[in-house]
Amino acid sequence: MGPSEEERERDVILISDDEDDGTLGNSVLIVDPLAKTALEEKKCEEVVDEECELMVTFCKQANVMPHARYDCTIHSFERMECETCSPIGKNADFCNQCYCYICDKLASECQIWTTSSLCHCNAHNKSKFWKDQRDFALAGVLVMFNLELTDIDADLRHGGNLLVSFIQELSVEYNKYLIGERIASTEHECFCVSKLPPGQCDTCRSRSTEIVYKYSGVFALVTRFLNQAEGESPKAAAVMLLGAAREITLHKDPALSWQNLGHTASLKLAVPCLLQRITTRLQKMLVLCDFPKSLYEKFINFFQSISLPCHCFAFSNSLNVVPWDHVLLTTVLKGQNTTGQRTQKGRKMFLWEVLPVIEARVEKLVENMNYKEVVRYLRAVKCNDTKGLRDLRDKIPFYLCKTGDFLDATHSLLFPINSLACCTACRLTPLQFEVYLKMFRTGSVPLGKDIQDPGPWVTVGSPMKDGVLIKQAFKLLYSNLSLYRNPKCWGSFIMIMGSSCFLGRNGHLRPLTVKEPPIAFQQLHQEACLILAVQAVQQMVICELPYLTSFLEIFLAFGNNFWALRLLLNHLSYDECILRGIVNLVLRDLNRQKATMLKLWQNLGPQYVGEFICLFLTCRNRILQSIGVLALDIITENLHVG
């Protein structure tokens, strides 16, 4: 039986995937139904396989579709590796469906189809030379990164276009630099017969003219381009930065002798400065940006292929950044390696990274809230910049607090990672000291990434017990002399110990009013929190009175617990010299901060103000009564206000 009428009208598509020389490459021929006479459409039968009873019973003439010139079935094509001088044989001939292999457009539209030394008509897919030409035509400047056409997306192509424009502008500016500026010496000596005075002989002036080469114009252009790159997408920025690095390392200093014109005008100073900025930015991008692995490796390989001049040798291994999946790094982050070193084939390997890379890793881990991994990494990694690494390690206690491990955080504050270094507590500021005590007291931490973040607080663990907190607070104060001598720190300590372990809705401490214990209890139970704090303040005052600059904060820190403040005053009254020093400091502060104190007392309410004044006025010691008198005078002088 022959095919039905419906089967006769179907399209037959023949696709050849054979790349051998004896085929037509990847050309596609579609057999379309054409209008034929009845005689032409008579079926012709041809047996193809007798055993399988396969027989061709129907066929039509093919319609040629668009194809590369070397695949044309109408005009013959001769292949050679890299002939560009003139067309070979009949390669210049083409049909109306022939496409240029290089330009990827119709052969009739190719501007250099038969141009001498460029002949695109000879291009074919069996030649490495012509393949490279095609890749360069399609990839543009990106071909120098050894990227596959499938790797190139819109971001990479955009970065390549910006790089091409920059290279053109840079070429013009660099040529200006090579010309230099001619500067005539004003004090040249005349060697002519006339022996004119210095600077007046034109002939000798022309001979003593000096050419100065200023790189400032190039430096400014490259700086603008780097600024532009920082605003682009990561892939585009990487292409721009790497391309700029390659171009500036090709620049040569034409001066025969050293010309120290400054870090922007002298090439040998300006180029390392620019490379430092480029490599630092690329190091952070390789850590922070999730580049595909193949693209990551090609960026690094491209930088390593740059031939660096002698004044840039220090940047040879700048982009040897350990990837996130490196064995040593992953074992450190998982806690399987706490030292940051391992032995491989008898050689010791260390987790050693430059500071920008360390900063980028910490930034990414903190962004993902992987605080335990941050602590493990900072404890194990090593760096040449010891001060920069120390500053990052000073945040380890805060990261431990974010995990709810407050006891380990206090140990990290007091014990250094390196036995030869000083502890983090030595560098605490009064504000940081207060925030740490607040975290230990409440079991809460700031929601932000920094210890001084003003945002809301969240509960992450259980508060420290009072006894442990007092012990750790004393250790911190005694480890840092500047904290120990600062009354604000003691005031913060007393205020926090007299506050609730639960934060208010706004994240502020909620002061507590502690009932005064009996005298017998105060004498027998010295472990009471406020009593211990009073005794510690008393000891600090006795030892450090010459260094104190203020004391009013300590008085105010007791809040409504006036019995504890009275206890402190009674202890200080035994030494009149110390008491006079304390009272003088308080009187000075009250006189200097009248407006501030009035506003504070207004917020605290009349009951607090009354008890505060009454406390001092009822003291038996007249020296202490002067504080109450001054406070009362300040209030009476401003009764008409508000």
Provide the token pair at 328.
Answer: 């040593």
What would the mean pLDDT of 579-599 be, rounded to a whole number? 82
Q: What contacts 119, CB < 8 A, 6 or more positions away?
A: 83, 84, 85, 86, 87, 91, 112, 113
- 439 against 607, higher pLDDT: 439
Q: Is 54's pLDDT higher than 80?
A: no
Provide the token pair at 74.
Answer: 């109408």
Count of alpha carbons within 13 Å of 189, Cβ hemisphere only?
Answer: 1
Q: Is 402's pLDDT higher than 70?
A: yes
Q: How many CB atoms lie within 10 A of CB 58?
A: 14
Whether 592 contacts 544, CB under 8 Å: no
Q: What contacts 334, CB < 8 A, 6 or more positions away?
A: 376
Is beta strand 341-344 parallel, antiparallel or unpaired with respect to 347-350? antiparallel
Ranges of H-type helices in 230-354:
234-249, 267-288, 293-305, 327-333
User: Angle CA(309)–CA(164)–CA(314) in degrees, nearest 5?
Assistant: 20
pLDDT at 41: 46
Unique residue bearing structure tokens 């360390």:
358
Provide the token pair at 464.
Answer: 């420290």
- Distances 309 to 223, 267, 369 between C-alpha atoms, Å: 20, 11, 42
Whether 241 contacts 282, CB under 8 Å: yes
> Left, alpha or beta for 199 (phi > 0: left; psi -120 to 50: alpha)?
left
Full DSSP string of 456-520: -EEE-SPPPPHHHHHHHHHHHHHH-HHHHT-HHHHHHHHHHHTB-SS--TTS---B--PPPPPHH
pLDDT at 19: 45
pLDDT at 533: 54
User: How far apart, in whole angstroms, are the C-alpha atoms of residue 361 and residue 376?
Assistant: 12
Confidence of residue 354 (pLDDT cuts 50, 70, 90): very high
User: Angle CA(338)–CA(342)–CA(344) in degrees, nearest 5?
Assistant: 165
Among 17-21, 89-93, 308-312, 382-386, the range scoring the smallest mean pLDDT is: 17-21
CA quadruple 119, 121, 126, 130: dihedral sign: positive
Rounded to 5 degrees, what are φ and ψ at 385?
A: -85, 85
Unique residue bearing structure tokens 């926090």:
496
Burial class (CB in 10 A: 0-12, 13-18, 19+), 603: exposed
Nearest by Cα to 236 from 305, 155, 298: 155
Confidence of residue 202 (pLDDT cuts 50, 70, 90): low
What would the mean pLDDT of 578-599 be, rounded to a whole number? 81
Provide the token pair at 607.
Answer: 């009951």
Q: Is 206's pLDDT higher than 70?
A: no
Provide the token pair at 339.
Answer: 């030292």
What would the mean pLDDT of 21-44 be, rounded to a whole number? 46
Q: Is 221's pLDDT higher than 90?
A: yes
User: How far apart, in whole angstroms, are the C-alpha atoms of residue 428 and residue 451?
Assistant: 12
What would the mean pLDDT of 333-359 be, rounded to a whole number? 88
Beta-bridge mates of residue 348: 343
Q: Is 356's pLDDT higher than 60?
A: yes
Q: Is 13's pLDDT higher than 70?
A: no
Q: Is 600's pLDDT higher than 70?
A: yes
Among 52-61, 170-179, 426-435, the range scoring the smallest mean pLDDT is: 52-61
CB neighbour burial string for 70-80, b if at least 16 within 10 angstroms, e if fewer: bbbeeeebebe
CB neighbour burial string for 122-153, b if at least 16 within 10 angstroms, e if fewer: bbbeebeebeebbbebebbbbbbbebeeebbe
